[in-house]
Every structure is written in C-alpha cells, then in structure tokens.
Amino acid sequence: MALRFYNTLSQQVEEFHPLESNIVRMYTCGPTVYNYAHIGNLRTFTFEDVLRRWLRYRGYRLDHVMNITDVEDKIIRNAMAQGKSLQEYTAVYEEAFFEDMAKLRLERPERIVRATEHISDMVAAVERLSEKSYTYQSDGSTYFRIAKFPDYGKLSHTDFSGIRAGARVDVDEYDKADARDFVLWKARKENEPAWETSLGSGRPGWHIECSVMSMKYLGETLDIHAGGVDLIFPHHENEIAQSESLTGKQFVRYWLHAEHLLVESQKMAKSLGNIYTLGELMEQGYQPEAIRYLLASVPYRKKLNFTFDGLKSAATSIERLRNFNTRLETENFPEGVGAGGDERAARALNEFENGMDDDLNTAAALAAVFEYIRDTNSTMDAGGFRKGDVASAQDVMQRFDSVFDVLHPGEQAGGIPDAEIEALIEERIQAKKSRNFARADQIRAGLVERGIVLEDTKEGTRWKRK
Ligand code: AMP
Ligand code: ZN
C-alpha cells in the first residue's frame, strides 16, 4: 500500500504524491522564541522529525523549511520589560531550542529562517495584496479583508460567509472562535521596536511571515505544511487566504496537524504547574531518548497523555530494544541458518512499514518490532536462531532505528560518535559548495556547542574534541 496521510484540507486519508517526482517541499511552523519550548511543542516537532525521516525512508529528497518567529506581541512585551533588543531577548531561546532539538535527535530542516530577516519580503507581499485590493488601512495598520476571499474557512471547515468586513483584530493571538479581518502590518505603538517601511513604521503580523517565507524558498505550491492543531485556525487559514490571494494557485497540497499533548490528562497551564521543558525532565534523571520515544510512540493525530509512568515505561521499552540489539551483536549463535528466520524478519519489516505508511501509525509500527523481538528472543532461547539469521535481524533493527533513533545511547555516555561528526563535516562542505553558508555556519556552531571544534586547512577540515 502506498504512503498515506490524513489531509486536514480534504478531511480524508489520501495517498501521498509530491508535485515533482522525488522531492518533497515542506514547511513547518517553528517555535515562537519568547520562552523555552515545552514538551507539548516538542511533541509536534518530534512528529515532524518522524515525518521527515519516513519520507526519506521512502526515497524522497526533502526541502524542508522551518521558521523561527522572532518578532511577535509577547516577544516585544518581554524584551521591552527587560530593556533588551528583540535579538538579545530571542537569542537565548533560539539557542535553547536548537539544544533541545539536538538532545531529542530532531533532524535539522534544510533551512531554518528567521522572520526578522525577511521584513522587506513581507512588506512587498503586503504591497501586492494591497494592489489587488485585499487590504485596507486603519490607524496606520494594514488588514486583510476576509470578505474578499470566498474560500476563507476551507481548512478549518467553518462557514464564514456572514463575516462583516471592517471588524478587526491587530494582535497575533486571538480567540479561536473569532474570525475577523486580521492584521498584516501592525503600526508601531509608543516605543516598540519597529521597522520604517513603505507601509509605515511598524512590524509584520505573524501570519504573513509564514506565507512569505514558505513561498520564497519552496515556490507557490508546497507539498506539505505541518504544525499543531491549534494552528489550523486562524493561523493556517490566514496563510491560505494571503498566499492564494497573492498567487491565484493552491498554496498547500497536504496539511498535516499534530494533536496536543496533555499532562496527566490535563491541559498544560501555568496555574496547574504542569508545564515541563526538556531540561526539567532531564534534571529529574530522564534520558532524552526516553522522552523522544514517548513523544514518537503515540500516533500524531491522537492526543498524547504525558505521564511519568509512561515515561518510565518508555525507558523500559528502550532497554528491551537495546538488549535485543546487544544480543545480536555479541552472542555466539550456532553456525548455519535457522528455520523461518528471514521470513520472520521480512514479515516484521513489512508490518513496520505498513504501519508507518498508514498516516505514520507509529504505534502499529512499534508493535510489529516488539512482536518480532519477542518471537526472536524465544527462538534464540530454544537454540533455533543461527549466525546466518543475524543479518536480517540487524536489518530490521537498523531500519526501525532510522526512524525512531533510540537504540544508541546519547552523548552523556561517551560523546558524539566520530561517524556523526564526519557526516556533519561532509554536509558542511556540501552546504558551502551550494553557497548555503547559513547552513554551513549552523553546522559549525552546532558542533562547537557539542564540544567539537573545526579547523579549515588546505588539506581539508580537521576536527578535535575540546
Ligand atoms: P509556538 O512556539 O507556540 O509557536 O508553538 C510551536 C508548535 O507547538 C506549534 O506547532 C504548536 O501548534 C505546537 N503546540 C503548542 N502547544 C502544544 C501542545 N500542548 N501539544 C502539542 N503541540 C503543541
Ligand atoms: Zn506558521
């Protein structure tokens, strides 16, 4: 069966085929860097990592863009309260986010782009929308006129036909039940940090940021756009309105949304004291691999109920996987080939792949692997597993781990492996060749953060541990 995803737009499970043969153009809404990411945010980012890895497993090349929202109401408020520039304020949280990504083994998207570095692109887009009469101005701000876009509501499947033009909101966060014309460019208030542009003194709205940065790098029609369910309305609905009004083309072909994470069956809230960051969980002694496993193990369209019991059992599951892997590597099995070994492995792999192809059903995929481990352990105990069966068993484990990435202990137990460093250096060389210097710098910075220093010499790049 082909790879299938549930598309929020059609409300159907659809076969996935990218627009252009082998390449998937994907955009995911990145973090708003006004605070540390919590495990709910990280659930969504882990889902996107699994999505990336599965697309690659299925032979696709990726061009994945993730934004960093580094200008927004809360950021401005907090930065001003602390007497910092936006950049000074957000740098800490952006860095912390990259550290979380590394600890959770979330692959870096091909491009990570900051809102504040695309202001002129956003101004140009708002100007074009104005030329096409999709906007109006009021008190120095520019708004999108929802009544001009009849398709408004097609993603969230809501009827907005009665919407009154001229009812406005100019904040980035607003009530989900409330559809009003949204702000594209916000006029400066008092001493707020602002950009002087043809639209006046101010800053862009949140929604225009994603429309502009996604289309700039990926073209007018993207294959996949993903985020958490809370972004369906208004954020993604507004992205569609802006983008399709600009281009007259379909903006996104597959919309994928991850359900929320709850803590002990409750919504995370400051008042309940149940908002956890990765750092807090690690301070309590939990391994990032266990957290990754827990976040990835529940299919993304199901709510994930985070509990400490669940986290402990994730750690136990990883032990079982690792023990089995060690057994394959170290036990001296009798010569020859056992009965049915390769068939068992092929069946497990097939079930694993079917599970993942079915809208990333990670629970089904994991069940296939654990059943295989159970069966194979008993075959080993009974002496029916032979040397000739090791390769197919290792293949199952290696393929499983190319997605789940929990088999090998992390840095705290012996440092970043040499092979990983070499691979990153190679990627950096390629990035430089293709003039993607941002990525090259990012790789160097990431390695420095992990205690590896690079030295570019005539002979090539050398590295050493600090
Ligand atoms: P933000 O940094 O607030 O822009 O959110 C980053 C990502 O986390 C977005 O894709 C949100 O939809 C997602 N998100 C926010 N809260 C949760 C939650 N409780 N569970 C899962 N994802 C969430
Ligand atoms: Zn976005």
User: Best of 44, 295, 305 to mutate for ligand 1, by most ligand atoms within 8 A of CB?
Assistant: 44
Q: Is 269 helix (H, G, I), strand (E, B) or coil?
A: coil
Same domain for 118 and 167, yes or no, is yes
Determine, yes or no, domain membership for 147.
yes
Considering only the C-alpha atoms of the chain, give the largest distance between any 2 of them, rounded to a whole number of Å: 82
Two tokens, residue 326: 């060690």
Ligand 1 atom nearest to 227, measured from its CA = 10
User: Given this model, what pLDDT does residue 52 score?
Assistant: 98
Contact 266, 272 (CB under 8 A): yes
Indicate if 332 and 203 belong to the same structural domain. Answer: no
Determine the pLDDT at residue 412.
52
Strand partners, 63: 25
Asked whether the bond before 109 is cis by omega within 30 degrees of 0, the reply is no
Helix ranges (H only) for 19-64 are: 39-57
For the Cβ of 32 lying below 6 angstroms from any atom of ligand 1, the answer is: yes
- Identify the CA nearest to 235 among candidates 51, 27, 43: 27
271/176 Cα distance (integer angstroms): 21
Contact between residue 443 and residue 428 where contact means Cβ atoms under 8 Å apart: yes
- Locate tokens 């993603």: which residue? 155
User: Long-range contact list for 168-171, CB < 8 A, 24+ apart?
Assistant: 168/138, 168/141, 168/143, 170/141, 170/143, 170/205, 171/73
**Ligand 1 center–CA 25 separation, angstroms:** 21
pLDDT along the chain (466 residues), means of 10: 96 98 97 96 98 98 98 95 96 97 97 98 98 95 94 93 77 75 94 95 97 98 98 96 98 98 92 93 95 98 98 97 96 96 97 98 98 98 97 98 95 62 85 86 83 84 82
The verdict on the CB of residue 116 being under 6 Å from ligand 1 is no
Ligand closest to CA 234: 2
Contact 403, 368 (CB under 8 A): no
Report which bound ligand comes closest to the CA of 44: 1
Residues paired with 256 in a beta bridge: 226
* pLDDT value of residue 441: 87
Total count of domains within the chain = 3
Ligand 2 center to 450 CA (angstroms): 29
Structural domain of 448: 418-465
Sign of CA dihedral 204, 98, 363, 303: negative
Taking the CA of residue 373 as centre, how many other CA atoms within 13 Å lie in the half-sphere pointing to its CB?
Answer: 21
- Whether residue 410 is contained in a domain is answered as no
Residues 398-414 pLDDT 10s: 999 999 999 999 865 44
Say which residues have a Cβ less than 8 Å from residue 172's Cβ, sequence separation at least 6.
Answer: 72, 73, 183, 205, 206
C-alpha–C-alpha distance, residues 155 and 51, integer Å? 21
Is ligand 1 within 6 A of the CB of residue 202?
no
- Tokens found for residue 276: 């956890």
H or E element in which residue 68 lies: strand 61-68
Residue 199 near residue 126 (C-beta atoms within 8 A): yes
**What is the number of the ligand 1 atom nearest to the C-alpha of 226?**
10
**Residues 83 and 144 reside in one and the same domain:** yes
Q: Is the same domain home to 159 and 24?
A: yes
For residues 310 and 220, membership in a common domain is answered with no
CATH of the domain at 336: 1.10.730.10
**Nearest atom in ligand 1 to 261's CA:** 20
For residue 220, how many C-alpha atoms fall within 13 Å in the half-sphere facing its CB?
A: 10
- Other residues' Cβ atoms within 10 Å of the Cβ of residue 419: 8
Q: What is the CATH number of the domain that holds 107?
A: 3.40.50.620
387 and 437 share one domain: no
43 φ, ψ to 5°? -65, -50
Give the per-residue pLDDT at 452.
Answer: 85
Compute, in degrees rounded to 10, the torsion defined by CA atoms 42, 48, 53, 56: -160
Q: Is the CB of 226 under 6 A from ligand 1?
A: no
**Residue 409 belongs to some domain of the structure:** no
Residues 398 and 439 in one domain: no
Nearest ligand to the CA atom of 30: 1
Question: From the CB of 205, is ligand 1 less than 6 Å away?
Answer: no
350 lies in the same domain as 445: no
Ligand nearest to the CA of residue 302, numbered in listed order? 1
Could you tell me the distance, in angstroms and rounded to a whole number, from the CA of residue 30 to the centre of ligand 1? 9
Q: Whose CA is nearest to atom 7 of ligand 1?
A: 41
Residue 411 inside a domain? The answer is no
pLDDT, residue 414, reads 45
Tell me the CA–centroid distance for residue 338 and ligand 1, in Å: 48
Whether the CB of 141 sits within 6 Å of ligand 1: no
pTM of the model as a whole = 0.88
**227 in contact with ligand 1, CB cutoff 6 A:** yes
SS3 category, 10? coil
> Do 134 and 243 reside in the same domain of the chain?
yes
d(CA 267, CA 445): 35
What pLDDT shows up at residue 413?
A: 41
Residue 330 Cα, ligand 2 centroid: separation in angstroms?
48
- Shortest-distance Cα residue to atom 17 of ligand 1: 40
Residue 411's pLDDT is 64
